[in-house]
Each structure stands twice: as structure tokens, then as C-alpha cells.
Amino acid sequence: MTGAPRILPCGDCAISVDFGNVIDVDVNDRVRRLDVALAGAGVPGLVETVPTYRALMVHFNPLTTDYEALCRIILDLAAQTGGAGEARRRWRVPVVYGGDFGIDLEDMAAFSGLSVPDFIEAHAAPIYTVMMIGFLPGFSYLGGLDPQLQRPRRDVPRLKVPASSVSIGGAQTAIGSIECPSGWHLIGRTPAIPFLRGRDPVFLFDAGDEICLRPMAVSDWDRLAARAAEGDAVVERIA
């Protein structure tokens, strides 16, 4: 979608700015650019913005903000943010694939028609984009999964999935945050802790960041997990 976004009122104090209905890096980039532009525009009564895959939720105070004027500001900013995006942070994230850390890996490889080593190589090859942080604090949805690795979610979700799991659900892959129920397929886990209270920053990743996954040895897990628990990011910024 390259035209003007749709403005959808959500009650009397929020607007959804809809850029499309697809999982697409370019659509997501437009959402993030508008989010940045709106944050810097000094709009009176702006309360909060929430970027998602393909839309930006804009919360405002209707007692201090005129709805029609806010819509015009949003459309004007959206039209002005079509150039090159801002420089992105890029992280190298260690992942243990398979075994107890990714109990669905062998089944996922068989489903895709690949050997386990080839599946790992294909999954770790892309430079992923963090399309959205959501569902749980710090849960990072990544865009850029190889279509050959896609698979519908499990028919029966698991009630407990370990924190920091790396998983695949449909056309998406993700780095989880805290322990949670999930119907996604578990292929690995990172010692990094995407959400940790008391650490600065609390969240490791932001929407728009780029992620490079680095397969790591099981023997390194305890050492890196201990560092992460003490507040060390254990991810490497490479751009």
C-alpha cells in the first residue's frame, strides 16, 4: 500500500492509522516513520502512540485536541515521511537450536523438507526486522522468515513455553520474552533476556531494529545465561 493511510476512529480518544492489511516490511516501515514524525511534531493533547505491523494507534485527549485537525496533521506527516528511513540498530543474537532448547526443530525440518543443519542455516541466514513488540512485554515479532520454513501454528497450544524461546508460527518467527502459553513451534532459545525489570534498558529490542541470529553451542549456555541474569545484554550491536 503506497497511498494515503486510512483514518479509523476508535471511540472518542483514539485513531487507528491503517497503512495496509499485510505483513510487509515496507508497510511496517511507513508505520514507524509516522510514529517518529508524530512524536516530534509537538501535537497538543497527544497521549500515546502504539505502532503495530501495519497500523499506528494514536491516543489523544479529546478535551485539548481537535479530531479533524489531528487527522489533517497525521495525513500531512504521513505524506512527508516517504523518503529513506532512519539508520537502524542491528543486533547479533546467540541462539541454541534444537534439543531441549528447541523441541520442535527436527519435526520442523522434516516438514520443510530440509535436514536439521540446513534448516538451522536457513533460519539464521536472514537479517530480520523487528516488526512489532507486543503480546507480552519484550516479545519481538520478526519479519523476513524464509517461506520454506513457514508452518501453521500447532493445533493444540502448549500451556508453558520457556522464556526467550525462538519460535515459528505461520509466516512469522519471533524471539519470546517471558514464559507463556503458545501454539508456535519451538526451534531454539536465546540466553538473552528481551525484558528484564531493573535493567537499563528494560527492553533489549525496539520496533525497527534488525536481528541477525547466531547459532551457538549448548556448552556456552550456562555462562551466557548467568551473565544475562545479572543484567548483561549478551547480544552484540553490529550496526
pTM: 0.88
Average pLDDT of every residue of the chain: 94
Per-residue pLDDT tens listing for the chain (239 residues): 468 999 999 999 999 999 998 888 889 999 999 999 999 999 999 999 999 999 999 999 999 999 999 999 999 999 987 655 567 899 999 999 999 999 999 999 999 999 999 999 999 999 999 999 989 999 999 999 999 999 999 999 999 999 999 999 999 999 999 999 999 999 999 999 999 999 999 999 999 999 999 999 999 999 999 999 999 999 999 98
Listed in sequence order, the residues at least 6 apart from 207 whose beta carbon sits closer than 8 Å to its beta carbon are 28, 32, 51, 130, 131, 132, 133
Q: How many CA atoms lie within 13 A of 234 on its CB side?
A: 25
DSSP-based three-state secondary structure for 51? strand
Q: Which residue ranges form the domains of the chain, and what is each CATH number?
A: 6-80 (3.30.1360.40), 90-237 (2.40.100.10)
Q: What are phi and psi of 235, to 5 degrees?
A: -110, 155
